[in-house]
A and B are shown apart, each in its own frame.
Chain A
């Protein structure tokens, strides 16, 4: 068979195969509404949700206020609480009423000024304010308690200045909050969200599309061609890497321009870190699909081993340092953990190399290990 048209091109064949495969991936992505939805619609929805809907800041906290002391000074403190943005106090005449409100979840805390409140203040001794906080949501409870303590300290200081005397109160604390001066949760949630979005594209979407090729038998036909396994993998990596970068640009754009999150570090560092993380996520996605070869199982597995950890164990919402030691240990194998650290630093603090370098090194190591495993696990055999 020596007719023209049947001679394969020798050199450059690999380039041609790769080009064909990558073009195929892109055509599939563009024509598959679910890919486009996961890559662009889902990030937009998540960003809107977290940018506008979810806030971990406490404001206008409903509290019950009982003032047993009819003095002016007690009234002064009560109005101080009422004037604050943080509280929405409701007056009650006795403890029983206030407790009932707390039971019904209508107030988050009870603040009670006893009859001897003004006397104790006047004597300069430790004035007692009774505070009962709803501790069902422990974090929120601590937050409420902190705010009340802060308001108390501020009021004490204020009163002392007015009276020109030092009251035996707490040490004078001058505090400033760095990096996120307005203490807006949005400013650290939105950067962290980028890790979540890229996990969706890198791991979930990739695991599903690769498993789909197994399910539909398209891979079987592909394997019995001159295409090398490496070429098939590289084409998937390339296509979904670019899709992931698209998702990242969308997220960063929305974060900076829509939500006004500051980007204090450089974009180049952000891009490089994102690329490393994306490689690790892609490696994870390809590994899952290679092992499961079933869209449903691949999707479920990807959610459990990548998306949920990225949500819960990355420090995106929940502080890693306050986790039990075992869970803290587990977070070390969650790639998103390192990426979230870099993201929050680059967005809010700047290019702090002592944070970026070790985390980037961890990401690079994870990406290398996962991609190596994928290469080992993939072969041109069906079992």
Chain B
């Protein structure tokens, strides 16, 4: 980190000096910190970047005086965080990860409460409220209960509450987690505006690597340690000249090409990006020649992150290939849909969560369902799994009519829910045992499959640990193991990778690919837009309806215009939703 002359004139807004913090309980939710040092310059945006359990929240709680460090000193706005927490708390705005909105209070009542707590004078309130409403676009929802706002709106209201009196330092703990791309962009615009117009200092954390590039300064945290810090450009410099794009030729499947490239010698990372494969080469031999054509491209922050992490992580071997060809007796008819949805609707009272959707999914397809929070993805999923009765329409899954034979269909599907839904107090092996029994496996086959799952998902070393104590990435592997042990024909994955670090996410997709190659049908929801590229086809949902269905390329082309001839999936998603919303408004 460069200490410039400027930073000496203006004291730093936040200074951490060799701060360590450990927790007595081995709770999985909070992470320890080891000798963390960094500082935040006034008027800048500093991003804490790292996967879950890196220690981001712990760090923010230390900065706001909610926790006391074991050693080291923390100075915030000139105050010692241990000795004078109240002085800090009157001058910072803090938005915890699950922002504490009172859900049974309306938007306006939440604002009033925080205005009272922050001591905003009554005469100053109306103009400030108007300003905040304009900024967040919540003006039409002032009388709505906070609990009935969408996820993105809740985050914006949370931010508005911390801004009823402009704080000198804004501390945001993962403000964009679980928020759809559109709301994410809006939240970032608010942050930019505050820094620009109010010279506010912002310290925020995020698990989205693409957001790192929005920051002035980055502190990269991993397992409680600072891996590196600097500007996004500093990070990108480290992988300069090592990033390439390999174009997909002809009929070559981009997933198989990506698999091939990622296994090639000298390749650190390979991901699908649009119509090409993005790859990062090894530091030691950047000039390796490959048997495919590559073109140099500009590095991203994510390349640098993966580069640093892959050097650290040794426990992750390349994903072994799950093979259950023995149980798939005959090759399914690839032209006969395994999921057939026709005019499907689901109504709650007079509200349509899902309205008149139709689509078909074929064997071996990876079919993605994308949409903002509350677009109807989870409702659709639950109906497909036979967990929620349909209001109207037809629904065939694996040949069974779900309205009459849900149980029969359920044996042929695997479901991995958004939240960790296994038994935390059972060991890994006990969970596998239970779920395999629940799907009717027994005796020798059951024992074989459990052994297979432990092997395949790299869970052997922790087979007897309680599953709640596993790191997030391993819990997610266990969830998937439980969902596939009975060798389902169709696998439903509801946001399987949220909160999982980028390396684990890559291994996860590699497994999914292999399954799809064996004609397992996969339906997946995700809010990582770049992951949508792994899908054969996508459906974008908004307000319970399907806006468009197509291959990732078709969808990108639909959103292309003169300004953005080659949009990313994320840009395409935002554009399509905006288009839909403006149409609805004019209608």
Q: Which residues of A contact B (CB under 8 A)?
A: 1, 4-10, 13, 16-17, 19-21, 23-24, 27-28, 31-32, 213, 216-228, 380-383
Contact = CB atoms under 8 A, between A and B. Distances in A.
B66 A227 contact: no
5 A-B pairs with least C-beta separation: A20-B116, A218-B100, A221-B100, A5-B124, A224-B94
Interface residues of B, number: 49
A380 B127 contact: no
A227 B116 CA distance: 9
23 contacts: A1-B198, A5-B120, A5-B127, A6-B124, A13-B119, A20-B113, A20-B116, A21-B113, A24-B102, A24-B109, A28-B102, A28-B105, A216-B98, A217-B99, A219-B100, A221-B94, A221-B96, A221-B161, A223-B89, A226-B119, A228-B86, A381-B67, A382-B61
Interface string B75-100: 00000000001100110101111111
A225 B98 contact: no
B85 to A, nearest CB: 6
B95 A1 contact: no
Given A7-B121, A382-B66, 11 more contacts: A5-B124, A7-B124, A9-B119, A17-B116, A24-B105, A28-B102, A217-B96, A220-B96, A221-B162, A228-B86, A380-B85
A32 B104 contact: yes
B437 interface: no
A225 B85 CA distance: 10
A10 B92 CA distance: 17
A225 B89 contact: yes
A195 to B, nearest CB: 30
A227 B68 CA distance: 19
Contacts of B95: 221
Q: From A8, A10, A16, A225, name the one whose CB has the most chain B CB atoms within 10 angstroms.
A: A225
Contacts of A226: 86, 89-90, 117-119
Interface of B: 23, 61, 64-68, 85-86, 89-90, 92, 94-105, 109, 112-121, 124-125, 127-128, 145, 158, 161-162, 165-166, 168, 171, 198-199
Contact of A5 (B23, B67, B128, B168): B128
Nearest to A229: B86
A1 to B, nearest CB: 6
B67 A383 contact: yes
Given A221-B95, A223-B89, A224-B94, A216 B119 contact: no
A1 B195 CA distance: 12
A31 B104 contact: yes
Nearest to A214: B100
A293 to B, nearest CB: 12
A216 B146 CA distance: 13
B120 A8 contact: yes
Contact of A21 (B65, B116, B199): B116
Contact of A9 (B103, B121, B198): B121
B109 A380 contact: no
Given A21-B116, A21-B117, A27-B104, A380 B89 contact: yes
Contacts of A220: 66, 96, 100
A4 B112 CA distance: 18
Nearest to B97: A217
Contacts of A13: 119
A380 B66 contact: yes
A20 B124 contact: no
Contacts of A8: 90, 118-120, 165
Nearest to A35: B104
Nearest to A228: B86
Contact of A221 (B86, B99, B116, B198): B99
B66 A223 contact: yes
A263 B395 CA distance: 67
Q: From A13, A32, A222, A226, name the one whose CB has the most chain B CB atoms within 10 angstroms.
A: A226
Contacts of B86: 226, 228, 380
Given A24-B109, A31-B104, A16 B66 contact: no
Contacts of A20: 112-113, 115-117
Contacts of B89: 223-226, 380
